């Protein structure tokens, strides 16, 4: 199986970011998106239906998609991948029917009957599984090809931009200010180069000027203390310490 970046390169790096807010996906949707195929172009019913459409349309990466669906089904059946809803496609004397089943009751015998379009997985579970199985890493050969052919266009196939994997980052105004202070004052700070650290008052003024939602002095102080480089943290009252040192010196008579 190719990596996600390689699959998206082969398909021309389609923009599928409109799927990024969908948190629960079917096995079929997850497989199509991972292989750079838009699920909107397909109808979902039974396994035979989606498999037939892929074999008939033959989009780029269609064989990878079939293998991905199989791999995800096996991961669910072996408890490697958690699923909030597992649906099996059964047959009886009256024809096909579907049955919902708890994951604790699923085994490898259910692999061939698990529904691609109706069995669900969480996006975060999918992302963790893809990372664990190296779908987010470039192979050595592919990395060489990317560096040789597209040295200035890697952002179009960045693994963080493909399909829907990255979860929206949680943040607050204080966190934004904290990261801003790091970028402004500490990212390039070099204590070994006699570089003077910024004063706490300077940092606080900068925060208030650049982050209108953070105007409280104590929050600015906390942010400064959290971000401040360890070598720039000096405890105690300097003048008081110097005064105490002077008292320890015996005057010469």
**DSSP string covering 102-148:** -GGG--GGGGGGB-TTT-EEEHHHHHHHHHHTTTTS--HHHHHHHHH
- Burial (CB < 10 A; 0-12, 13-18, 19+), residue 72, is buried
Does the predicted TM-score (pTM) go above 0.85?
no
| Site of tokens 């200010």 | 177
Q: Which residues contact 106 (CB under 8 A, 6 or more apart)?
A: 76, 77, 79, 86, 114
CB 25 within 8 A of CB 33: yes
CB 72 within 8 A of CB 31: yes
Angle subtended at Cα 167 by Cα 163 and Cα 173, rounded to the nearest 5 degrees: 135
pLDDT, tens digit, 9 for 90 and up, residues 107-121: 999 999 999 999 999
Task: State pLDDT tens for residues 208-252.
Answer: 998 888 999 999 999 999 999 888 876 434 444 444 444 444 454
Q: How many C-beta atoms surround the C-beta of residue 216 within 10 A?
A: 13
**The pLDDT of residue 138:** 53
Instruction: Report how far apart, in Å, the C-alpha atoms of 211 and of each of 29, 88, 164 are.
Output: 40, 53, 30
Domain chopping of the chain, boundaries = 4-157, 173-247
Kindly calculate the radius of gyration of the chain based on its CA atoms and give it in whole angstroms.
28
Q: Phi and psi at residue 228, in whole multiples of 5°? A: -60, 135
**Which residues of the chain carry a pLDDT beneath 70?**
1, 93, 95, 137-170, 234-253
């Amino acid at each position: 199986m190719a990596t996600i970046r390689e699959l998206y390169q082969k398909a021309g790096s389609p923009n599928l970011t409109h799927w990024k807010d969908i948190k629960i996906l079917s096995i079929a949707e997850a497989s199509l998106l991972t292989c750079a195929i838009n699920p909107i172009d397909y109808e979902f019913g039974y396994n035979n239906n989606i498999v037939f459409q892929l074999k008939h349309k033959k989009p780029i990466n269609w064989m990878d998609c079939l293998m991905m669906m199989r791999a995800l089904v096996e991961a669910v059946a072996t408890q490697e991948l958690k699923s909030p809803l597992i649906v099996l496609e059964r047959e009886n004397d009256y024809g096909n029917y579907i049955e919902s089943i708890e994951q604790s009751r699923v085994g490898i015998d259910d692999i061939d009957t698990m529904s691609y379009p109706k069995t669900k997985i969480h996006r975060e579970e999918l992302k963790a599984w893809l990372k664990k199985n190296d779908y987010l890493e470039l192979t050595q050969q592919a990395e060489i090809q990317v560096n040789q052919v597209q040295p200035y266009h890697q952002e179009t196939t960045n693994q963080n931009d493909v399909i829907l994997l990255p979860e929206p980052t949680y943040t607050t105004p204080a966190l934004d200010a904290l990261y801003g202070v790091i970028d402004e004052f500490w990212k390039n700070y070099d204590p070994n180069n006699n570089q003077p650290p910024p004063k706490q008052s300077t940092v606080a003024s900068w925060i208030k000027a650049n982050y209108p939602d953070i105007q409280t002095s104590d929050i600015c102080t906390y942010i400064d203390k959290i971000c401040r480089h360890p070598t720039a943290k000096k405890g105690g009252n300097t003048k008081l310490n110097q005064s105490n040192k002077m008292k320890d010196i015996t005057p010469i008579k």
